[in-house]
Every structure is written in structure tokens, then in C-alpha cells.
Structure 1
Amino acid sequence: MKLTILGCYAATPRTLTNPTAQLIEIKNRLFLIDCGEGTQVQLRKNKIKFSKINQIFISHLHGDHFYGLIGLISTFSLLNRNNDLHIFGPKGIKEIILLQLKLSNSWPNFGLFFHELTSNQSEVIFEDDKVLVKTIPLKHRVYTNGFLFEEKLDQRKLNIEAVQKYQIEKCYYQNIKNGKDILLDNGTLVSNNELTFDPEKPKSYAFCSDTAYNEAIIPIIENVDILYHEATFLQSEANLAAKTMHSTAKEAATIAQKAQVKQLVLGHYSTRYDAISLFKEEAETIFPNVLLADDGESFEL
């Protein structure tokens, strides 16, 4: 699992900072989370093969989280994309995108599918044989969701030495990886635990932006490997955070502590501050394992 930060600053793009967009790579699948202005440029800068992106998750309909979407869709068409593209986002995202495509007479030459979200409860919105994605209902000025990405448990791993010891033929390997015991020709039943190793523990990533402090999300994100939580303000501007329904670094750290996550990544910084290191310093007074997102930064699990 690899997380690449394409943009992590609040409100408007600047010369050296970009609005929210992230790419999460899970078992050779690429998922784009939010698509602020300039996202496709950031994808190129980070040498990401964005033709492999088949699912895009939009948290809410504030411009700094989706204004790059129509440009990315248009570029996909220009590059003669063939794969279907699925967009998950709040009700209204379909109308916004289709109107732009209609008035510009720029209909894509690939399947474009919208999955509009309206529930205020956590729900599974995407699932395949490797990954499951759930919504994390957030508390913002408009309808907003975060997203929880969970790996599914892999097959068991062959213990080659044990398999060769019992001279088991290769045609049985798949059954063994599926967890089955093996009956030898001499009538001996060999336990699967002797023939395999446990698979790696599935990893999880929770994306939470934008939101006011909201303890209701704790049961959903509990014990995740990495939590990205917005920290638009420092505690000295807690009044602004409350007014705009954003969080402070201290509040993000409090959520991380109460949810017992393994690692907290902060982002969505207001550009009013001179250094983002201030956010880490504040959060570490509450929660020890804090990293700072920054444009172009990557985190591997």
C-alpha cells in the first residue's frame, strides 16, 4: 500500500502548493481521492500512470476538492482511454460534470459511471477481490464523506520446504493456498498449517477531509494503519475552525488518539501559517506518531 500526496493545502492553489488530491495504490490498483485544480499536472510530475485509475472518490463539492475533475476526464478522452471510469461522490457530481461535457460537446469515448452518495451512515461503496472501500460520514458545511480503504486478506503462502518434503505435486498448490489440508497417497493427512504461512495482515487507510471535530467517526476508523485527518488551523484559531467546520491539529490528534490508529498524517493546511511544522508540533502534544503531508510526499505501509 502506497499513498502519494498530490496536493494537501486548503482553499486556493498557489505557485508551490496545490489543493487536495491523493493517490492510494493497493495491490496494483490505483485509486484517486479528491481531484483539486491541477491534479492531472501533479500526476504527471509524480510520474503516475493515471490511465490505470479506474475509480475516483470525491469527498464533497467544494471546489478545492473537485475542480480538477473535468480537466482529467477531458484528458482521458484526448488520450483515447478505453477503460470505464467510475466516480463516487455526493449527489450533484453527475449533473455538474455532464453539464460541462454537454455544453463543450466533449463527450468521452469511454464509459463514465457516477455513483452518487446520499447516506449519512457508513456504507460499502466499492469492493473487488482485493479491496473494500467504505464511506466515513464527516461533519462539514456541505454533505461530505471520508473514505476507508481496507485490503482483503490474501491467500496463505506456501511453505515450499514443507511441500517438497512431502513431495506434493504442483497441481495441489492452489488448494493448499486456499487453506485445504492434503491427503497423501499413503493415507497421511497433512495439516494446512504445516504447509503454509499466514498471509500478511491486511492494511487500512482512512481519509478524513474536510470535517469539524467529530468523535462519531471513531468506531469506523478504529485501529487503522494510517489516518489522514485535515488540520486546517492551529488551536490558536479554534474559533475559525468551529466557524468554518474544519479541525485544528490538536483536534486531529485527539481523534487519532481516541481511535488508537497507528499513524496520523496531517494535511489541508491553511496558508496563513509560516511553516507546516507548527501543525506537527501541536499534534504531538496529544499523539506521538505524526507525519506531515506535503505535495509530492509518499508514504508506504
Structure 2
Amino acid sequence: MNLTILGCYAATPRTLTNPTSQVLEMKNRMFLIDCGEGTQVQLRKNKLRFSKINHVFISHLHGDHYYGLIGLVSTFSLLNRKTDLHIYGPKGTKEITLLQLKLSNSWTGYNLYFHELESKEPEVVFEDDKVIVSTIPLKHRVYTNGFLFREKPGERKLDINAVQAHGIHTAYYQKIKNGSDITLDDGRVIPNSELTFDPPAPKSYAFCSDTIYDESIVPLIKDVDVVYHESTFLDSEAHLCEKTMHTTAKQAATIAKMANVKQLILGHFSTRYNSIEPFREEAQTIFENVLLADDGKVFEL
């Protein structure tokens, strides 16, 4: 599970900083999360394959989180994409995108599927045999969701020495890996636990941006491996949070501690600050395992 930060700064892009966008690679799937201005350029800089992106998740319709979407959709057409593209975002995402395609007469040569979100309760928005994605309702100035990505449990690992010791035919190997006990020819039942090892623990990743400090999300991200949480301001500017509906580094750390997450990644930094290191310092007064996002940074989770 790898996370590539394409952009992690608030509001407008600058020469050396980009608005929010990131790529999560999980179980050989590549998910694009938010698509701020310049996302496709950042994809190229980070040498990420456009063709592997089949699912785009948009948290909310503020420009620094989706202004790069129409450019990416159009570039896919120029690259002669044929694979379906699924876009998950607030109601209005489809209207905005199709209007731009219509007025520029730039219809795609591939299928675009929009999954528009309106629920203020958590809901599953994507699921296949390996990964499940659900929303994390957030409190911001417009309708906003975070997203929780979870690996599904893998099949059990065969203990080849134990299987061979019992003389079990290879035809039963897949059944054993699926969790079944085995009955031998003499009637003895061999428990699955004696024939297999536990698979690696499923990993999980939560994306929480943008939001005011909100303890209601704690049960939704409880015990998650890695949480990316916005930290627009330092504590010295906490008075701005209520007006803008954003969070401080300390508040993000408090959420991480309450949820007992393993790792916290801070991002969505206001561009008013000359350095992002103070965000780590403030957060670590509350929660120890803190990392800082930055454009181009890759986390091996």
C-alpha cells in the first residue's frame, strides 16, 4: 500500500506547492483522491501511469479539490483511453463536468460513470473482491466526504509441510486456503488452523479533508492504520477555524489519538506559513506518530 502526495496545500497553487490530490495504490488498484489544479502535471512528474487510474474520488466541490478534473478527463481522451472511468463525488460533479465537455465539444471516447453522493451518513461507494471504500461524512462549508479505504481479508497461507504430512491431495489446496477443514480418508477431521497460517492483516487508509474539528468521525476511523487529516492552521490561528471550517494540527492529532490510529499524516497546509515543520511539532504534543505530507512525497504504508 503506497500513497503518493501530488498536492497537499490549501487554496491556490503556488510555484512550488500544489492543491490537494493524491494517489493511493492498494491491492494493485490505483485510486485518485481529489483532483486539484495541476493534478495531471503532478502525475507525470511522479511517473504514475494514467492508464491505471479507473476510480476518482472527489471530497467536495471547492476548486482546490476538483479544478484539475476536467483537464484529466480531457487528457485521457487525447491518450485514446478506452477503459471506463468512475468518478465519485458530491451531487453536481456530473453537471459541472459534462457542461465543460459539451461547450468545448470534447466528448470522451470512453465511458464516464458518475456516482454522485448526497448522504450525510457513511455509505459504501465502491467494492470489489479486494477493496471496499466508504464515505466519512465531514463538516465543511459545503457538502463534503472523506473516504475510508479497506483491504478485504486475504486467503489463508498454506502450511505446505503440514499438508504434505497428512497426505492431502493438491486438489484440496484452494479449499484449505479458503478456510475449510479437511476430512481424511480415515475419517479424521484436520482443523484449518493446523494446515494454514493467518494471512497478513488487512490494511486501511482514511482520507479526511476538509473539515472542522469533529469528534463524530472517531468511530468511523477507529484503529485505522493510516489517517490523512487536514491541518490548515497552527494553534496560533485556531480562531480562524470556525469561520473557514478547517482544523489545526493539534486538533487533527486529538482526533488521531481518540481513534487510536497507528499513523497520522498531516496535510492541507495554509500557504501563509513559510515552513510546515511546526505542524509536526504541535501535533506531537498530542499524538506521537505524525508524518507531514508534501508534494511529491511517497509513503510506503
Q: Is TM more than 0.5 here?
A: yes
Residue in structure 2 matched with residue 181 of structure 1 by the alignment: 181
- The Cα of 1:171 is off from its aligned counterpart by 1.6
The amino acid that maps onto 2:272 is R
Counterpart secondary structure, 2:291: strand
Residue in structure 2 matched with residue 265 of structure 1 by the alignment: 265
Is 2:288 the partner of 1:288?
Answer: yes
Residue in structure 1 matched with residue 160 of structure 2 by the alignment: 160
Residue in structure 2 matched with residue 72 of structure 1 by the alignment: 72
Separation of aligned partners in 1, 2:182 and 2:12: 61
Residue in structure 1 matched with residue 41 of structure 2 by the alignment: 41
Counterpart secondary structure, 1:34: strand
Residue in structure 1 matched with residue 125 of structure 2 by the alignment: 125
- The Cα of 1:203 is off from its aligned counterpart by 1.1
Separation of aligned partners in 2, 1:190 and 1:50: 48
The amino acid that maps onto 1:115 is H
- The Cα of 1:209 is off from its aligned counterpart by 0.4
Separation of aligned partners in 2, 1:106 and 1:235: 46
Residue in structure 1 matched with residue 299 of structure 2 by the alignment: 299
* Structure 1 residues 1-301: aligned runs within 5 Å: 1-301=1-301
Separation of aligned partners in 2, 1:115 and 1:296: 28
Separation of aligned partners in 1, 2:182 and 2:218: 43
Separation of aligned partners in 2, 1:151 and 1:50: 22
The amino acid that maps onto 1:176 is I
* TM-score where L is the length of structure 1: 0.98
Separation of aligned partners in 1, 2:166 and 2:47: 47
- The Cα of 1:246 is off from its aligned counterpart by 0.5
The amino acid that maps onto 2:187 is G
Q: CA RMSD in A?
A: 0.9
Separation of aligned partners in 1, 2:163 and 2:49: 39
The amino acid that maps onto 1:48 is L
- The Cα of 1:242 is off from its aligned counterpart by 1.7
Separation of aligned partners in 2, 1:39 and 1:206: 20
- The Cα of 1:180 is off from its aligned counterpart by 1.0
Counterpart secondary structure, 2:136: strand
Separation of aligned partners in 2, 1:79 and 1:195: 49
The amino acid that maps onto 1:174 is Q
Separation of aligned partners in 2, 1:194 and 1:50: 44
Separation of aligned partners in 2, 1:71 and 1:274: 30
Residues paired across the two proteins, number: 301
The amino acid that maps onto 1:141 is R
- Of stretches 158-167 and 126-135 in structure 1, the one that deviates more from structure 2 is 158-167
Counterpart secondary structure, 1:120: coil
- Of stretches 156-165 and 203-212 in structure 1, the one that deviates more from structure 2 is 156-165
- The Cα of 1:187 is off from its aligned counterpart by 3.1
- The Cα of 1:234 is off from its aligned counterpart by 0.4
Q: Residues 159-211 of structure 1, C-alpha deviation per residue, up to 9 Å, x if partnerless?
A: 11112222322221110111111222333322211110011111111100010
Q: Residues 58-91 of structure 1, C-alpha deviation per residue, up to 9 Å, x if partnerless?
A: 0000000001100111111111111111100000
Separation of aligned partners in 2, 1:246 and 1:259: 19
* TM-score where L is the length of structure 2: 0.98
Counterpart secondary structure, 2:19: coil
Counterpart secondary structure, 2:153: coil
Counterpart secondary structure, 1:141: coil
Counterpart secondary structure, 2:6: strand
The amino acid that maps onto 2:287 is F
Separation of aligned partners in 1, 2:4 and 2:231: 18
Counterpart secondary structure, 1:247: coil
Q: Residues 228-271 of structure 1, C-alpha deviation per residue, up to 9 Å, x if partnerless?
A: 00000001001112210000101111111111111110000011
Task: Give 5+ residue unaligned stretches, structure 2.
Answer: none
The amino acid that maps onto 1:28 is N
Separation of aligned partners in 1, 2:222 and 2:90: 24
The amino acid that maps onto 2:285 is T
Separation of aligned partners in 2, 1:267 and 1:25: 18
Separation of aligned partners in 2, 1:222 and 1:181: 33
Q: Residues 20-49 of structure 1, C-alpha deviation per residue, up to 9 Å, x if partnerless?
A: 001111110111000001111111111111
